[in-house]
Amino acid sequence: MGKLTIANRAMCTGALIAPDLVLTAAHCLYDPYSGRSVRPRKIRFEAGLTGGNAKAARSVIKAVEHPSYRHNHGGANDPSVDIAILKLDSPISGAEIQPFATDARPEKGDALGVISYTHLRRDTPLWQHPCDVLAKKGDVLVMNCEVDFGASGAPVFAVQGGSRPRLVSVISSKAALGDRPVSVGTIIDSALALLLQRAG
């Protein structure tokens, strides 16, 4: 996984799902100040960024958002389709940086993990585990993981035993359930095949 820098103005988190493909949130493709879409070349991915040092850095050459996504600048976006794939200008390879496999959709009560960069932790990721699925509706999860600005697009993992975590969702937003901070995630499995096809 790694940090996305958008037009040198904003940040998100993304996860490598193939040597040249990154999964993130669709709203990360828009300038948070103007609401305009950002050209792919203005997005940079730093893989494995820890302590300010990235194991690999790439520019984005193509961005594919969910075809039903409609950006609502200044308002709430539909979390069921807040998902996108970015194609990198060259593949990232090596034993230290391996793409994540995906898994089936999680269910209410499942324990998950989230790894993200935030505006308070720009150069070192934060790993939260376990987080519980509090509710699920369609392709949307509500979890008790606390996330902050910059965590949009962060991978949500199913963690089982000693096996490598498998990607099941991406963070769409932070929210509140009563007085409890929660996170809202987009389940990936129904949209992933379509996005992969469009990303080429």
- 3-class DSSP assignment, residue 178: coil
Amino acid at 130: P
2-98 domain in CATH 2.40.10.10? yes
CB neighbour burial string for 78-95, b if at least 16 within 10 angstroms, e if fewer:
bbbbbbbbbbbeeebeee
- Per residue in 140-166, pLDDT (tens digit) is 999 999 899 889 999 999 987 777 889
CA distance 187 to 185: 6
Considering the domain 111-188 in this protein, what is its CATH number? 2.40.10.10
Write down the pLDDT at residue 75. Answer: 78
**Which stretches of the chain are DSSP H helices?**
189-199
**Are 19 and 93 within 8 A, CB to CB?**
yes
Q: Tokens 């050209």 label which residue?
A: 39
Q: Where are the domains of the chain?
A: 2-98, 111-188
Beta-strand pair 84-88/56-65: antiparallel
DSSP-assigned beta bridge partners for residue 181: 176
User: Quick one: pLDDT at residue 70?
Assistant: 95
- The continuous run of DSSP H or E covering 135 comes out as strand 121-137
The pLDDT value given to residue 109: 80
Q: Any idea which residue has 């302590």 for tokens? A: 51
What's the predicted TM-score (pTM) here?
0.93
The reported pLDDT for the residue numbered 200 is 82
The pLDDT value recorded for residue 107 is 83
Same fold, 2-98 and 111-188: yes
Beta-carbon neighbour count of residue 127 at 10 Å? 10
d(CA 193, CA 38): 24
Which candidate, 64, 97, 69, 94, places its Cα nearest to that of 81?
Answer: 69
Q: Within the chain, which residues score under 50 in pLDDT?
A: none
